[in-house]
Amino acid sequence: MTILDSLLAALFTFAMVFVVLITLMLLIRLTNYLLVLIMGKKANAQGGNGHV
């Protein structure tokens, strides 16, 4: 493996971690939005089990 290859592999790994986790972040926000939409904000909050 050349230095350039290893640099690319390292960059790819780091970038992919960001891509996956940012996608996850957006999915969590979307899920919350959908839950509020389906259940209503009050119902969603009532289902909670305490402050975090």
By CB under 8 A, name the binding residues for other proteins: 1, 3, 6-7, 9-14, 16-18, 20-29, 31-32, 35, 39, 44-52
Compute the least distance from the CB of residue 29 to other proteins, in Å.
6
Residue indicated by tokens 């939409």: 37
- Cα dist from 35 to 25, 29, 30, 42, whole Å: 15, 10, 8, 11
Compute the least distance from the CB of residue 11 to other proteins, in Å.
7
Distance CA 22, CA 13 (A): 14
Compute the least distance from the CB of residue 24 to other proteins, in Å.
6
